[in-house]
Structures are given as structure tokens and as C-alpha cells.
Amino acid sequence: MNAPHPQHDTPHRPLTPSFPSRLPDVGTTIFTVMSALATEKGAVNLGQGFPDFGCDPRIADAVAQAMRDGHNQYPPMAGVPALRDAIAGKIANLYGRRYDANTEITVTAGATQALLTAILCAVHPGDEVIVVEPTYDSYLPSIELAGGKPVFVTLEAPDYAIPFDRLAAAITPKTRLLLINTPHNPTGRVWSAQDMQRLQEIVRDTNVLILSDEVYEHMVYDGAPHESVARYPDLAARSFIVSSFGKTYHVTGWKVGYVAAPAPLTAEFRKVHQFNVFTVNTPMQVGLAQYLQDPRPYLDLPAFYQQKRDYFRAGLANTRFRLLPCEGTYFQSVDYSAISDMPEAEFSKWLTTEIGVAAIPVSAFYHEPHESGVVRFCFAKQEKTLATALDRLARL
């Protein structure tokens, strides 16, 4: 009998090759951690930013009808023409700038894809990107994937005012892009007309592009208008504007948004978009185009969310939290220094586990440790959900 071949002595173990990570510092987000902890502890989840109520049945019916009508194949890469027309009309009516639906409007797979695509098309390795922090968590990984270098301008509690002198000083010959977000997540602050005019002056004689994240555009309160960069010609000429139907119509899981930008910027955006996602699901685009013919749902949204904001703030006024400004978004930040001196992440986990209400530490929105004793709640919830949360928070 022949002796066994040596390779048969050790069982074969398939090898999974290793490779360097493109995002070595990215782990599980605080939103995932807090939502999982809220589920485990049976806490009221005021952490992650999504509604716990349904959308208007008419928009769901419009999408279902689009499916039944056979709108189930690929749409044009830039989006269904009727939807792009409706978006262009909406922007013109609200902000006074008419974007060409064919060459300046692109439908995207949500705002996060729009942000990533804008950054990838504009930012080259070594380019500087100015980031106003605290900041939404997708910005920095997107810049890193593009090879850009983030340059931080930091807002400080409690007022989170924009330090325009530091913003202007951050611009260098290497600056490619400036990222702004209004209404601002997580602070709830809103850029004013004066702020936009100051920004316009700062960038006027530069080659800096602007990426304006305006997904909460229809959540501005107390009668104030949303100051889109579309209102300001010198800003609009250099800007990618991002918005989200998910935020506006309570359908975050649909992941449909759009980008408005001048034709030369849009041409570059679409070069990346077509190989990133190519296009966005057809029946939802067709349904959204029909639903957008009635402007009332987005025109009524500020009053809808202000009622929730005012109810939630009135309840929080009976707790030991100190309310910070909330001019827009569906987020309310609070100072908890009268309750605890724990770091924000630790306090958020304690609040979820022991009190039964989940929040997000605002420190998670900074690129390095930054403690202000502030956490963020989401009030895009049914009144009974908010009432339960307020009852628990009042016991602190």
C-alpha cells in the first residue's frame, strides 16, 4: 500500500485573503449601538432619527399604482423626467431659482448616496474639505474614500454659533469643497439670511465648491424661512444641493433623494452616479412625481413638526435637562450637567438602561473626543411615544 501523500495529513482550510481597509477607523456607529441597546432594554428610542408613524396613504397608493401600471424597468440614469420636472418646479417656487430638469437635477438613492457621489466627483487626493462640526457621520468616511483631507471648523455648545472668522481662515489654495448643513443635525440650528450672505462674501473670490446638505429643509420653525443656498446666486453657482424625500414624506426606508447643481457640476456628478448606483427604483419615482403635484404636504410640514417640537420642549421643561435651541430639524439637544457629570456616551447608555429612554451623545458627531454634557433626542414620534419618554425623564 502506498504511503499517504503529505498534503492529505492536514485538512484543507479555505483561506480568506486579507487586505488593507479603506476605512480602518470605522466601526459600529453609535446609532446602531444605541438602537440595539434600546431594543434590548425595552427603552423608548429617541436616538436614531426616523418617525414611528406612517406616511400619507396617498403616496403609498401612488407607488403601488405605478407598479401596477408597469413602471418596473430601468428609468433614465438621471431620474424619471416627470419627477425631475416636479423637483425643478418646487425649488423655483420656494427659492426663486429655476434649475434645468434635464441638465441640473439628478434623482439619487437617498441623501447619503448623493453626498458620497458629490464628494467623489469633486474631491481629489490631497484636496482639503472644510467640515463644520458637530457633523453627520457619513461626511468624514466619504472624504476619506475620495482621498481628501478634512479641515474642521468647530461649533461650541450651548449656542453652536457659526465662527465665520475661523471659517474664512480655514480656506486655503488647497480647499476644494466646503460642507454645510442647514437645518443642522444634531444641533437643530438654522442658517439665517445674514449667515448665507456672509458665506457668499467669504467664497466669492475663491474656487471653493459647496456641498449643502438641506435634507431638513421643510422643518424650520417659528415662521422662519429655510435659507437654501439656491436663494443666493453666488452660492448656487458653485453648489451641490442635497435633499431627501425620505425626511419630507416620512418614508426614510425608501431612500430617494436628489441633487440640484449647475450643469457643469451635474455633468461631473452624473459621471460618478451612473457607476455608483446608475439609477433609482422606478415606481417610487413615478409615485413621488404624482404626489409632488400637491405642495400642501411639504408646505404643511413645518407646522406638523413644530407641534411635536413644542409638545416635547414643554415636557422637557419639567425635567432637570436644560433645553438648547431648536430652530429646525426633528432633533432636540439638551444639557444634562444638572443631572450627571458622566461623559456623553456613558450617560446615554445609562439613560437607556436605567431610565428607559435612548438618546445620542452629541460627542459622537465630532472627529475627536469633545465633551459638552449634551445629548440629542429625536421628536419625530407619535405623541404617545413622546409622552411615555417624558414621563420617564421627569423622574430624573
Q: What is the pLDDT of residue 262?
A: 98
257 phi and psi angles, rounded to 5 deg: -140, -165
Q: Can you read off the three cell numbers belonging to residue 373?
A: 454634557
Q: How far apart are alpha carbons 377 and 356 in whole angstroms? A: 13
> Given the C-alpha cell 433614465, which residue does it identify?
76
From the number of C-beta atoms within 10 Å of its C-beta (0-12, 13-18, 19+), residue 17 rates as: exposed
Q: What is the pLDDT of residue 9?
A: 65
Q: How far apart are alpha carbons 148 and 290 in whole angstroms? A: 39
Q: Which of 289, 371, 366 is nearest to 30 (CA)?
A: 366
SS3 378: strand
End-to-end CA distance of the chain: 80
Q: How far apart are alpha carbons 5 and 7 in whole angstroms? A: 6
Domains along the sequence of the chain with CATH? 30-49+299-393 (3.90.1150.10), 57-294 (3.40.640.10)
What pairing do the DSSP bridges indicate for beta strands 128-133 and 149-154?
parallel
> Given the C-alpha cell 407607488, which residue does it identify?
63
Q: What is the pLDDT of residue 102?
A: 98
Q: What is the pLDDT of residue 388?
A: 98
DSSP 265-307: HHHHHHHHHHHHT----HHHHHHHHHHTT--HHHHSHHHHHHH
Q: Can you read off the three cell numbers belonging to residue 325?
A: 435651541
Element at 105 (helix H, strand E)? strand 105-108
Q: What is the pLDDT of residue 11?
A: 83
Q: Can you read off the three cell numbers belonging to residue 81?
A: 423626467
Q: Can you read off the three cell numbers belonging to residue 279?
A: 439609477
Q: Quick one: residue 129, left, alpha or beta (phi over 0 = left, psi -120 to 50 = alpha)?
A: beta
**CB of 380 closer than 8 Å to CB of 312:** no
Q: What is the pLDDT of residue 6?
A: 53
Question: What are the mean pLDDT values of the chain's consecutive 10-residue runs (396 residues total)?
Answer: 57 92 89 92 93 97 98 98 98 98 98 98 98 96 98 95 97 98 97 98 97 98 98 98 98 97 98 97 98 98 98 97 98 98 97 97 94 98 98 96
Q: What is the pLDDT of residue 5?
A: 55
